């Protein structure tokens, strides 16, 4: 029998390909086309090599007294069969895999969909989670995993449209991280995205309090949504996804500007200064903001917090040192 690659070929199919290659070579000779003749020669050589690795090909080598060549061909065929079995393990074999091997296959970007289908039924919760996140997992399997791991499936670029639509419209997932992940998924239809945004925003297009709470508590919230929350007056400076661009935007806002609850932007600046990944660009913007907008009585103290920050660049310290002098 023929196995799927990288497995070996069967005698019948290999013989058919060899005959077809011989016919094409003969046709190329009659046409007197050098390029076609060269391609036909290569195809014939490949077909002959493939046929020699089949049971019939090996038997013919032995009948011809070429035992060494037959042994080499048999060894290559055995290696192809081993490679096939490694790429297509049985359910029983997968069940006996170590946790480390299961994790590696569940996260692998070359893992066969059949293996991922088997791993979706693994006894370990973590393996099933990783399978739900893998883009090579079949859509039919993701539809089943969505009941157990809705957020992971909603974030999967291979998630089927029907599943994403359900996660958006099902009241069970209202204001959930899975719903927001489904709204971000490129497979979600424009109609579902429009309807979903209608659920989580008010008449003015601002996130509702419930939606904002979910987005701020989720580590998966991207910068563009955090920027929108900031424009609505929510504090985002401590969020893990608050990167260089958004940090600079926050640092550029006047410290007296009011946020939700009447809190001043200065408190958001303080949260920025507590971040371990605060960038020199954001610190530079913060220093310029304090120089321009801070009350004169408080400006020196506020600037010192910036200039003594461990990430403050030397050029900024030198510039303010020259001004002080």
Q: How does pLDDT run across 220-258, given as a tens digit for each residue?
A: 899 999 999 998 889 999 999 999 999 999 999 998 888
Per-residue confidence (pLDDT) for residue 189, from 0 to 100: 95
Per-residue confidence (pLDDT) for residue 260, from 0 to 100: 76
Q: How does pLDDT run across 110-120, given as a tens digit for each residue?
A: 898 988 998 99
Per-residue confidence (pLDDT) for residue 165, from 0 to 100: 96
Instruction: Please list, in sequence order, all residues whose beta carbon lies within 8 angstroms of the beta carbon of residue 141, skipping any fewer than 6 positions away.
Output: 116, 117, 120, 131
Give this prediction's pTM.
Answer: 0.61
Looking at the chain, the whole-number percentage of residues with pLDDT higher than 90 is 43
Per-residue confidence (pLDDT) for residue 188, from 0 to 100: 95
- Given a cut of 70, is residue 11 above it in pLDDT? yes
- Residue 154, class by beta-carbon neighbours within 10 Å (0-12 exposed, 13-18 middle, 19+ buried)? buried
Query: Would you call the peptide bond into 27 cis, given omega within 30 degrees of 0 as the criterion?
Result: no
- Given a cut of 70, is residue 95 above it in pLDDT? yes
- Of 202, 203, 147, 196, whose CA–CA distance to 169 is shortest? 196
> Nearest 5°: phi and psi at 236?
-125, 0
The b/e string for 211-224 (b: 16+ C-beta within 10 A; e otherwise) is bbebbbebeebebe
- Of 88, 84, 110, 64, whose CA–CA distance to 9 is shortest? 84
Higher pLDDT, 154 or 83: 154
- How many Å apart are CA 80 and CA 9, to the nearest integer? 9
- Given a cut of 90, is residue 196 above it in pLDDT? yes
The alpha carbons of the chain give a radius of gyration, in whole angstroms, of 32
Q: How does pLDDT run across 129-157, given as a tens digit for each residue?
A: 999 999 999 999 999 999 999 999 999 99
Any bridge partners for residue 258, and if so which? Answer: 264
Mean pLDDT of the chain: 88
- Of 221, 276, 279, 222, whose CA–CA distance to 250 is shortest? 279
Per-residue confidence (pLDDT) for residue 319, from 0 to 100: 83
Q: How confident is the model at residue 88 (pLDDT cuts 50, 70, 90)?
A: low
Per-residue confidence (pLDDT) for residue 5, from 0 to 100: 65
Q: Where are the domains of the chain?
A: 1-88, 91-137, 235-325
Tallying the residues shown for the chain, one arrives at 325
Looking at the chain, the whole-number percentage of residues with pLDDT higher than 70 is 95
Q: How confident is the model at residue 28 (pLDDT cuts 50, 70, 90)?
A: confident
Q: How does pLDDT run across 34-57, given as a tens digit for each residue?
A: 888 888 889 889 988 888 888 888
- Given a cut of 80, is residue 284 above it in pLDDT? yes
């Amino acid at each position: 029998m023929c196995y799927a690659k990288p497995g070996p070929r069967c005698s019948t199919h290999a013989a058919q390909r060899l005959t077809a290659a011989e016919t094409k070579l003969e046709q190329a000779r009659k046409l007197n086309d050098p390029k076609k003749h060269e391609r036909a020669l290569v195809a014939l050589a490949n077909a002959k090599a493939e046929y020699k690795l089949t049971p019939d090909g090996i038997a013919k080598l032995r009948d011809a007294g070429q035992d060494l060549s037959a042994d080499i061909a048999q060894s290559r065929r055995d290696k192809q069969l081993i490679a096939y079995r490694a790429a297509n393990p049985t359910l029983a074999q997968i069940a006996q895999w170590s946790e480390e091997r299961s994790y590696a296959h569940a996260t692998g970007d070359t893992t066969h969909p059949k293996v991922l289908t088997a791993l979706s039924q693994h006894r370990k919760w973590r393996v099933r989670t990783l399978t739900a996140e893998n883009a090579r997992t079949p859509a039919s399997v993701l539809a089943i995993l969505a009941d157990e791991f809705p957020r992971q499936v909603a974030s999967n670029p291979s998630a089927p449209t029907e599943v994403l639509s359900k996660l958006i419209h099902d009241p069970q997932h209202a204001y959930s991280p899975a719903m927001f992940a489904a709204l971000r998924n490129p497979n979600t239809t424009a109609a579902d995205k429009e309807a979903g945004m209608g659920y989580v925003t008010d008449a003015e297009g601002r996130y509702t309090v419930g939606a904002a709470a979910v987005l701020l508590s989720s580590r998966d919230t991207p910068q563009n949504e955090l920027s929108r929350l900031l424009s609505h007056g929510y504090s985002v400076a401590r969020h893990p996804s608050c990167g260089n661009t958004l940090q600079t935007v926050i640092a550029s806002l006047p410290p007296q500007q009011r946020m939700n609850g009447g809190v001043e932007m200065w408190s958001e600046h303080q949260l920025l200064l507590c971040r371990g990944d605060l960038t020199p660009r954001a610190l530079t913007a913060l220093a310029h903001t304090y120089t321009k907008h801070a009350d004169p009585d408080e400006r020196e103290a506020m600037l010192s917090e910036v200039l003594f920050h461990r990430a403050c660049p030397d050029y900024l310290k030198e510039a303010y040192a020259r001004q002080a002098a």
